Amino acid sequence: ASCYMWSLYFLVRVVDTFPRPKITQVILLGIFVGFSLGVRIAGLLIICYYGMASLLFVVGQIRDRKNPKEALISIAWRGILSGIVAYLSVLPFWPVLWKSPFDRVKDSLAYAQSFDWNGFVLYDGEFIRASELPWHYLPKWLIITLPEWTLESAILGIIIVGMILLRSINGGTDEKHTL
């Protein structure tokens, strides 16, 4: 969890300085993404967040009638650098890659994606197959297990992002909103 949090920290630092984040921050982002991937496959989400933030930045450049080509190239090269560093950082922690570093990545992802577990889960006093859990299982589990401040922060964050999106859709102000 700490590697994932550091990844998020450096992601925010990098995105906040788009289109030209410092190379040291890009490298640190790559290192912690690699460490996160070494622990859990969910570290891939950080890479998706980088891509989404890049896309939103470029769309903002187009909306502001700026030429996004230079920004896009800069962001892409830094993303590639961060990806290479992440890959090199994950190698010591992902032994399956040692034998064939490039071929095994695809195999590992395919295996993790197709992992099928159909065991039983205790839910509301009954054992229910994992594949037959009701839709309200996840929201209820989150409400029960997350600390109150995390839940309140998430709800507040959703409200703030929603307000920012509504303001920008309705032709809001010229303020720059960063995360």
Average pLDDT over residues 63-89: 90
Within 13 Å of residue 177, how many CA atoms lie on the same side as its CB? 15
Q: Which residues contact 153 (CB under 8 A, 6 or more apart)?
A: none
Specify which residues 128 forms β-bridges with.
121
How many residues does this entry show for the chain?
179
Q: What is the pLDDT of residue 159?
A: 94
Please tell me whether residue 5 adopts helix, strand or coil conformation: helix
Among 16-20, 35-39, 40-44, which is the least confidently predicted range? 40-44
Q: What is the pLDDT of residue 14?
A: 93
Q: How far apart are CA 6 and CA 174, in angstroms?
A: 31
More confident residue, 165 or 27: 27
C-alpha 128, offset from chain centre: 31
pLDDT at 154 over 70: yes
Q: What is the pLDDT of residue 6?
A: 93
Q: How far apart are CA 25 and CA 78, in angstroms?
A: 10
Q: How far is residue 32 from each of residues 58, 76, 105, 139, measured CA to CA in Å? A: 25, 19, 18, 29
Q: How far apart are CA 70 and CA 51, in angstroms?
A: 16
Residue 67: pLDDT band (50, 70, 90) is confident
Please tell me whether residue 130 adopts helix, strand or coil conformation: helix
Question: Is the full-model pTM beyond 0.75?
Answer: no
pLDDT at 103 over 70: yes
Q: How far apart are CA 58 and CA 46, in angstroms?
A: 18
